[in-house]
A = this chain, B = another copy of it.
Amino acid sequence: MKKGHQVTMKEIAKKLGFSVSTISRALKDSPELHPDTKKKIVDMAKEMNYQPNLLAQSLRISRTNTLGVIVPEITSHFFASCISGIQDYANKRGYNVMICQSNETLDLEIANIRTLVSSQVDGLLISLSRETNQYDHLFDIYNREIPFLLFDRVNEDIPVSRVTFNDEGGAYQVTKYLLETGCKRVMYVSGPEDLYISKKRKEGYIHALNEFGIELDSDLVKISDLTTEGNINIAKEIANMKTRPDGVFCMIDPVAIDILTFWKSIGIKVPEDMALAGFTNNPTSAVVEPPLTTVAQPGYEMGKLAVSHLLDQLEGIASDDPISIVLETTLVPRQSTKALSKNEK
C-alpha cells in the first residue's frame, strides 16, 4: 500500500507565489507579516488540508515534543493507570508520548531505550523490569545527558529524579492494621528480594512489628517468585505449617488473591482462620470474596506527577538536581481482615 501524498509548504508557496519562509512565518503567526498575506496563506493551508510534517520540524529544531515511557507490562491495571495519567497530562502540555513495554525483561528494556533514544524523544519515564538487576543502560543514558526519571520500580543508585509511593509507610499501615485487629503472628509474603518494593515493604512490616514489641521471625517471611504457581506453593506451605500465622500480608494483590483462591478450595476461612491483606488495590481486590483489605496506590496521580516533574525539568521550570517525590498510600480495609473492635468502619 502506498501512502498518499501530503501537502507541503513548498506547494502552498508555489500556489500562492510566496516563498516557503513566508508560508512558515504565516503558519506560526509571526507578527512581521502583512495581515492580508497571513490570511491568504492560512486559508489556503486549510483549503489544501495542510498538516505540518513533525519529522522535518523536529529535525530542524532538534526537539520532538515527544516523551518515551517504558513500563514492565501494559496489561497491569496499575501501569495502565500510570500511562493514562502520563498521557493526559503530557498532551495538556503539548507533548506526545511513545509507550513501550519491557515485558519484565532486561533485554527489552534496553532495546526500548535504544529505540526511544533513536527516535529523539525529549525525555524518558522509566519503570524498571523485574529482571533489571544491573544498570549500565541507565548510567549510559545518564552519561549521554538524556533527561529521564524513574517511577514506581526505581533504583536509588542512579542520580535521577524518582517518583515512588511511600511503600514503607503503606506496609506499615497494613501490618499495623492486622495487629490492631487482633493478629498475633503476622506473616509477610514478599517478592524477589532484590526488588525495590520487596525491600521497602518489608521495612514497613518490621517497623509495625517492632512498634507492637514483636521480633522479626524469619519463619514468618516467605518469598514468592510472583507466578501463580509460586503463590499457590506459598499458600500450601502456610496451610501446612505446624503453627500457622493468623494474618498474612502479601506484597502485591495478585499474590493475596492466588492464596485466597487456593485456601478457599481447601476450606480455610478468611478472615476467621487467617486474615489476609494485599497491596495495590487492583480492581479485582474489590470483588473477590471476601473483598481484600489492601493499600491503594493512585497510579494516575503518579503518572501525572512524574511527567509533570520531567517536563518542568526539560523546560527549565524545575532544577536539574534529582529529587525524590513520594506519594502517600491509603489503607483500604475490607472483609478479608477482621474489623477493628471499637470504631468498626
Contact = CB atoms under 8 A, between A and B. Distances in A.
A49 interface: yes
B80 A147 contact: no
A55 B52 contact: no
A13 interface: no
A53 interface: yes
Given A83-B74, A96-B115, A144 B6 contact: yes
A84 to B, nearest CB: 5
A87 interface: yes
A313 B4 CA distance: 14
Interface residues of A, number: 59
A287 interface: yes
Contact of A101 (B51, B77, B87, B320): B87
A146 B289 contact: no
A158 interface: no
Question: Would you call the interface of chain A mostly helix, strand, loop, or mixed?
Answer: mixed
Contacts of A88: 103
Contact of A288 (B77, B100, B140, B287): B287
Contact of A52 (B101, B118, B143): B118
Contacts of A296: none
A308 interface: no
Interface in A140-188: 140, 143-147
B118 A54 contact: yes
A99 B99 contact: yes
B287 A257 contact: yes
A81 interface: yes
For this chain, the copies found in one complex come to 2
Interface string A312-343: 01101000100000000000000000000000
Given A101-B87, A119-B54, A283-B284, A75 B75 contact: no
A53 B120 contact: yes
A107 to B, nearest CB: 12
B53 A55 contact: no
Contact of A4 (B56, B81, B146): B146
A226 interface: no
Contact of A316 (B1, B64, B120, B261): B1
A98 B101 contact: no
A114 interface: yes
Contacts of A241: none
Given A1-B147, A147-B3, A284-B283, A96 B119 contact: yes
Nearest to A257: B287
Given A145-B3, A288-B287, A120 B80 contact: no
Given A2-B145, A284-B287, A100 B75 contact: no
Contacts of A54: 118-120
Considering the complex of A and B, which 8 residue pairs feature the smallest CB-CB distances, nearest first? A4-B145, A289-B289, A75-B80, A287-B288, A54-B118, A1-B313, A55-B59, A1-B147
8 contacts: A1-B123, A1-B147, A3-B145, A4-B146, A53-B59, A83-B99, A287-B288, A288-B288
Interface of A: 1-6, 49, 51-56, 58-59, 64, 66, 73-75, 77, 80-81, 83-84, 87-88, 96-101, 103, 114-115, 117-120, 122-123, 140, 143-147, 257, 261, 283-284, 287-289, 313-314, 316, 320
